[in-house]
Amino acid sequence: MTSCLFCAILAGDEPGAIVLDEPEAAAFLDVRPLFPGHTLVVPRLHVAALQDLPDGLGGTLLATARRIAAALRTALGAEGAFVALNDVVSQSVPHLHIHVVPRRKGDGLRGFFWPRTRYDDPEHLERIRAAIAAAL
């Protein structure tokens, strides 16, 4: 898919600071990093949304993200990593990608603000649980 920036990077048609290039997955530096070393792990196959990811490829992507997180510790002295995936909403490029961001205590990253709520009652919880289970 040539209109996809990440596919173009993988094809060598657009510049990208590739740190890992393998048959099923690749990783390159984010051009607008939260911190230096912020890496994006992508499937080589163009997949826009998590629901479109072929069975088996998720394990490969997570294993690649794990390897990148370990490499950030070694290469940059990171104490840990923030690993995240936006599915469609908040994806600036419509190609599934996992963010692996090097972290250090006191680095200033404050996570996400997610307003918490409650279920109306146990029946409401059960209706939601049953709907999700039925969809699976």
Q: Is residue 134 part of a domain?
A: no
Q: Is residue 123 part of a domain?
A: no
Residue 112 has pLDDT above 80, yes or no: no
Distance CA 125, CA 106 (A): 37
Q: Which of 95, 97, 99, 124 is catalytic?
A: 97
**Tens digits of residue pLDDT in 7-38:** 999 999 999 999 999 999 999 999 889 889 99
**What share of the chain has pLDDT > 90, as a percent?**
66
Q: Is residue 92 part of a domain?
A: yes
Phi/psi of residue 26, each to 5°? -145, 165
**Whether 38 is catalytic:** no
Residues forming beta bridges with residue 35, ordered by sequence position: none
Residue 119 banded pLDDT, cuts 50, 70, 90: confident
Q: What domain count does the chain have? A: 1
Residue 135 or 28, more confident: 28
pLDDT the model gives residue 38: 92
Q: Is residue 135 part of a domain?
A: no
Distance CA 114, CA 99 (A): 19
Q: Is residue 44 part of a domain?
A: yes
Domain of 46, CATH number, reads 3.30.428.10
Domain that holds residue 53: 5-111
Q: Is residue 9 part of a domain?
A: yes
**Tens digits of residue pLDDT in 52-108:** 999 999 999 999 999 999 999 999 999 999 999 998 888 889 999 999 999 999 988
Q: Is residue 69 part of a domain?
A: yes
Q: Is residue 27 part of a domain?
A: yes
